[in-house]
Amino acid sequence: MVQALKLSELANRKRRNEEDENGQEEESEIDISSTDSENEGNDDNDEDKEELVNIDFDFYNANPDIDFQALKNLSRQLFGAQESNKIQLSALADLMLASPMTTIKTDGTESDPYCFISFIDYKENRDSDYAKYLNSVNTKLSTFFRTIDNSNDKNCALVISERLINMPPEIVPPLYKITLDDIKNSSNGGKEHFDFYVIVSRKYEVNFDTDETTIRSTKRVKDVEVDYFHEEDRFLEKYAKVQFQSDARKGVISTYMILDHDGLMNGIADLETEISQW
């Protein structure tokens, strides 16, 4: 388990896609140090044993030859068992691989991604299976998409991002910034960014069971608290133009947000500020 993390500044970090001319890979600028304490139990005076674990995270463009299956698996994790059955995950993986995307890996570009983010242009892919799925989720989304469809100058990105559960939230700001920079640099004289972003994510129910014992009986009181799988959602929700969520299914809640560009950047900036105080 990661207990301590040290993160170098990554605002202007350039993703490397290949080994350099000398065949040596550039060192990661993210260093995660973990300490696990283990009580040997031999006597009361034994000191805890400290173990140091270093994990290097590198940022890459999508690799269609390697990432396809991992993207399907992470998408299934994101949408959950029931909702993912309503989506053609193979078609979605192909769509993400053809869109601006950044992945995070720990063992070179040929390894599986631990994390990804993709920005799918809605107008260019409005007839895709995924766009049709989102239109069917809720009238708030379908109404918004009709507005975009009828606009000549507004555009929208369908943002999909997922990661392994133990990935630290410190990777989120550079993940967004690198990908948004890619979009800006590839605009070819067009807009530098999308006007709106539709973000699908999820929360989970945290159950606390409290036993109250009296002379006559034992009473079990159950309280339900909702928490975030993605720490950034806590900050993005504050700036959402539209936000709603599904009913809980086996403790998991699907969430949907629509943000404009300023709202997205403000949410990421708030997350960076919070991280700097950890």
Tens digit of each residue's pLDDT, the chain (278 residues): 333 333 333 434 444 444 443 444 444 444 444 334 444 455 555 555 667 667 778 999 999 999 999 999 999 999 998 899 999 999 999 999 999 999 999 888 999 999 999 999 999 999 999 999 999 999 999 999 999 999 999 999 999 999 998 899 999 999 999 999 999 988 665 778 999 999 999 999 997 444 444 333 334 445 789 999 999 999 999 999 999 999 998 899 999 999 999 999 999 999 999 999 99
Distance from C-alpha of 233 to C-alpha of 161, rounded to nearest angstrom: 11
Residue type, 83: E
Of the candidates 166, 149, 241, which has an alpha carbon nearest to the alpha carbon of residue 197?
241
Enter the tokens of residue 74: 């992470």
Question: Which residue's entry shows tokens 């991002």?
Answer: 161
Query: Which residues does 209 contact at the CB level (< 8 Å), separation at least 6?
Result: 220, 221, 222
Domain-wise residue ranges, the chain: 4-276
Cβ pair 205, 226 in contact under 8 A? yes
Residue type, 251: G
Distance from C-alpha of 141 to C-alpha of 31, rounded to nearest angstrom: 39
Distance from C-alpha of 101 to C-alpha of 160, rounded to nearest angstrom: 10
Distance from C-alpha of 53 to C-alpha of 23, rounded to nearest angstrom: 25
Which pLDDT belongs to residue 8? 38
Distance from C-alpha of 212 to C-alpha of 235, rounded to nearest angstrom: 36
Residue type, 92: L
3-class SS of residue 7:
strand
Helix ranges (DSSP H) in 213-260: 233-236
Cβ pair 242, 137 in contact under 8 A? no
- Measured CA distances, 45 to 36, 48, 51, 102 (Å): 18, 10, 19, 49
